[in-house]
Amino acid sequence: MLSFESDYTTGAHPRILERLMETNLEPVTGYGTDRFCESAREKIRKACGCDKAQVEFIVGGTQTNMVVISTMLRDFEGVVAAQTGHVAAHEAGAIEHAGSKVLTIPQTEGKIDAGVLSGFIEDFYADDNHEHMVFPGMVYISHPTEYGTLYTKAELMKLSAVCRRYEIPLFLDGARLGYGLMSRDTDVTLPDIAKYCDVFYIGGTKVGALCGEAVVFTHNNEPPHFVNAIKKRGALLAKGRLLGVQFDTLFTDDLYFEISRHAIDMTEKLKEILQQKGLPFFLNSPTNQQFVVVENRKMKQLAEKVRFGFWEKKDDHHTVIRFAASWSTTEEDLAQLKSILDEIYPDAVPEAAPEVTPAQNTPAPGIWPGTSGQKVPAESTAGNGNQSDALEKWVRG
Ligand SMILES: Cc1ncc(COP(=O)(O)O)c(C=O)c1O
């Protein structure tokens, strides 16, 4: 079945598979000490413009978040994150399971604001009882966020300033970093991220690798015995070469950036198709994840022909769904999607292009950003308020 469900539904970029084959029978040392990991580390340092960066490889995103957060926080601290942040909402309590609380704060389109963050920390220290509370010990942001949105350089700088004022690290989850860096609507580069964050990771799993995330500590701040800590958490891959070869390939000849740019080019076409079919955008995402609001009965029809992600219930008759393009999306995939939508929406009136919504602008309830303030229409026919049974097997990631 046609799939726009996520960016990890296909395997790996062919150049990675070729390189794995070429190097397959060469015996190397284990646990990330091999020459492929070393070479990948060097290339990542160069791409980040950060000679002294310490780089380690971990298999998946949740594992990386758990390892980084639990090794950087002290016993009395928790991690501050947006209410919608992956660590808060979609990691099944992995952070708490590792012993640290996630301290959630309000968000706008998946982002946290430096003013809100600093207010939260000020209020914490102003509370006479704070010795009985969990200290804010680190800040977690995702870029792109879970809604595909991006921080601007100015926003990153402000968040970084708050963290430095309180001497707590800023951690950026870059599970989809490539798509953020190659967005047509960003002023943030990889060296900027290395400059403003204390630790971040470059996502491979969702950007052309079979699996793997590269964690980067930007100023000699890798926790002591970090490899030991990864091992203790069951996250140290014996055949570290699998991650080394993949990241070495992704950071050779700019492959990581090239395939991310391809995904963005495909997304621009995807957006045009969705817009032509009159599907209102839930928000303006400048990256590979696009969120549209669909009537539940149309959603059921769609689900028979194409896989997409269920995001959230909009109202009793509408659902927000996600279409994600990726490094492997093709023109044929888009043509197929278009013909499916042509069938389901034969009389569509094109939707206005999504407006760029300012970072601090929370949409009023019942209004879809990008639709000129259009109210959610009541569905006239027999839409039942329940999600389709099919939704239950849909994933969020
Ligand atoms: C922003 C973000 N961080 C982390 C993860 C977790 O990655 P994994 O599924 O590899 O554990 C996801 C998953 O989609 C994600 O969207």
Q: Whose CA is nearest to atom 8 of ligand 1?
A: 61
Q: What's the confidence (pLDDT) of residue 360?
A: 39
Q: 25 CA to middle of ligand 1, Å?
A: 31
Q: 208 CA to middle of ligand 1, Å?
A: 14
Asked if pLDDT for residue 52 goes beyond 60, the answer is: yes
Q: What's the confidence (pLDDT) of residue 350?
A: 83
Q: Which value, to the nearest 10 degrees, does the dihedral of the CA atoms of residues 173, 174, 175, 179 take?
A: 150
Helices (H) and strands (E) in the chain, counts: 14, 12
User: CB 213: neighbour CB atoms within 10 A?
Assistant: 30
* H-only helix segments in the chain: 14-22, 35-48, 61-72, 86-89, 94-97, 114-126, 153-165, 177-181, 190-196, 226-232, 241-250, 255-276, 296-303, 331-344
Asked if pLDDT for residue 139 goes beyond 90, the answer is: yes
Q: What's the confidence (pLDDT) of residue 355?
A: 59
Domains observed in the chain: 14-253 (3.40.640.10), 257-375 (3.90.1150.10)
Q: How confident is the model at residue 372 (pLDDT cuts 50, 70, 90)?
A: very low
The SS3 of residue 141 is: strand
Q: What's the confidence (pLDDT) of residue 348?
A: 82
Q: 152 CA to middle of ligand 1, Å?
A: 21
What does the pLDDT average to over 48-63? 97
Distance of CA 49 to the CA centre of its chain: 22
The pairing of beta strand 54-58 with beta strand 102-105: unpaired
- Choose which residue among 5, 68, 86, 141 to substitute to test ligand 1 binding: the one with the highest number of ligand atoms within 8 A of its C-beta: 86
Q: Whose CA is nearest to atom 12 of ligand 1?
A: 397
- CB contact at 8 A, 388 and 307: no
**Ligand 1 proximity of 397 Cβ (cutoff 6 Å):** yes
- CB contact at 8 A, 214 and 44: yes
Q: What is the pLDDT of residues 6-49, one digit of tens each?
A: 999 999 999 999 999 999 999 999 999 999 999 999 999 999 99
Q: How confident is the model at residue 66 (pLDDT cuts 50, 70, 90)?
A: very high
What does the pLDDT average to over 114-137? 98
Averaged confidence pLDDT in the chain: 91
Asked if pLDDT for residue 347 goes beyond 80, the answer is: yes
- What is the C-alpha separation between 22 and 19, in angstroms, rounded? 5
Write down the pTM of the prediction.
Answer: 0.90
Q: How confident is the model at residue 366 (pLDDT cuts 50, 70, 90)?
A: very low
The SS3 of residue 134 is: coil
Question: Using CB atoms within 10 A of its CB, is residue 376 exposed (0-12), middle (13-18) or buried (19+)?
Answer: middle
Asked if pLDDT for residue 362 goes beyond 70, the answer is: no
Q: What's the confidence (pLDDT) of residue 371?
A: 31
Q: Give the HSE-up count for residue 39: Cα atoms under 13 Å, Cβ half-sphere.
A: 14
- Choose which residue among 177, 206, 213, 394 to substitute to test ligand 1 binding: the one with the highest number of ligand atoms within 8 A of its C-beta: 206
**Ligand 1 proximity of 211 Cβ (cutoff 6 Å):** no
Please report how the helices 331-344 and 296-303 are oriented relative to each other, as an axis angle in degrees rounded to 10: 130
User: CB 235: neighbour CB atoms within 10 A?
Assistant: 17
Q: How confident is the model at residue 61 (pLDDT cuts 50, 70, 90)?
A: very high
**Ligand 1 proximity of 205 Cβ (cutoff 6 Å):** yes
Q: What's the confidence (pLDDT) of residue 353?
A: 66
Read out DSSP for 9-21?
SS---HHHHHHHH
Asked if pLDDT for residue 375 goes beyond 50, the answer is: no
What does the pLDDT average to over 163-178? 98
% of the chain with per-residue pLDDT over 90: 87
**Ligand 1 proximity of 149 Cβ (cutoff 6 Å):** no
What does the pLDDT average to over 196-205? 98
What does the pLDDT average to over 198-216? 98
Q: What's the confidence (pLDDT) of residue 178?
A: 98
Asked if pLDDT for residue 367 goes beyond 60, the answer is: no
Q: What is the pLDDT of residues 239-285, one digit of tens each?
A: 999 999 999 999 999 999 999 999 999 999 999 999 999 999 999 99
Q: Whose CA is nearest to atom 7 of ligand 1?
A: 61
Specify the higher pLDDT residue, 185 or 390: 185
Q: Which pair of structure tokens corresponds to residue 132?
A: 């009985």
Q: What's the confidence (pLDDT) of residue 354?
A: 63
Asked if pLDDT for residue 140 goes beyond 60, the answer is: yes
Q: 62 CA to middle of ligand 1, Å?
A: 6
The pairing of beta strand 2-3 with beta strand 306-307: parallel
Q: What's the confidence (pLDDT) of residue 315?
A: 96
Asked if pLDDT for residue 357 goes beyond 60, the answer is: no
- What is the C-alpha separation between 61 and 150, in angstroms, rounded? 18
Asked if pLDDT for residue 359 goes beyond 50, the answer is: no
